[in-house]
């Protein structure tokens, strides 16, 4: 089967997933069980893809799925579409929290990926990379000097 049933009938499951999708879009993270998060992630990614397309058909599909919540759809098409315009999928991430007391369900945080922070981290890594190379070269030069000193001491 292509989807998880989550112990609910079709209407209840679809409504629950639409509500969780709205909450992820508005709050940019939610705390839920692992199976619900994995299923919700599919719909969040689909809605952001609709937002990136930006045409009328995509807006109507998003409105239909998100229970005609215009505030959520506006945030989706105006803010999130711009944030993820250079990203091809993978708009969400799941962070495991541990098991819930009572039923031992794995609890997770489903959150939107921060595009700006990832680019900053990549830029910082690129800046640090030459420093590491320079440090290695200095170590090599120091070891060569020490080796020469040792050779000179041995010859004396």
pLDDT in tens, 30-51: 999 999 999 999 999 999 999 9
Tell me what pLDDT residue 144 has. 67
pLDDT in tens, 89-122: 889 999 999 999 989 999 999 999 986 655 555 6
Helices and strands: H and E segment counts in the chain: 6, 3
* Cα–Cα distance, 36 to 94 (Å, whole number): 11
Please give the residue that has the higher pLDDT: either 2 or 101: 101
Average pLDDT, the chain: 83
pLDDT in tens, 69-96: 999 999 999 999 999 999 988 899 999 9
The sign of the dihedral angle between the CA atoms of 95, 128, 117, 43 is negative
Query: Residue 5 — pLDDT band, cuts 50, 70, 90?
Result: confident
Backbone angles phi, psi at 95, to 5 degrees: -110, 120
């Amino acid at each position: 089967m292509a989807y998880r049933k989550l112990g609910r009938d079709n209407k209840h499951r679809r409504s629950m997933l639409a509500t969780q999708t709205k909450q992820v879009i508005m709050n940019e993270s939610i705390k839920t069980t692992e199976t619900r998060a994995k299923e919700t992630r599919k719909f969040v990614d689909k809605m952001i893809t609709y937002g990136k397309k930006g045409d009328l058909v995509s807006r109507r599909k998003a409105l239909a799925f998100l229970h005609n919540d215009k505030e959520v759809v506006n945030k989706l098409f105006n803010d999130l579409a711009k944030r993820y315009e250079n990203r091809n999928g993978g708009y969400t991430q799941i962070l495991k929290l541990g098991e819930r007391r009572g039923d031992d369900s794995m609890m997770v945080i489903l959150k939107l990926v921060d595009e700006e922070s990832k680019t900053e981290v990549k830029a910082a890594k690129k800046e640090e990379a030459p420093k590491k190379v320079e440090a290695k070269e200095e170590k090599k030069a120091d070891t060569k000097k020490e080796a020469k000193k040792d050779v000179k001491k041995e010859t004396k």
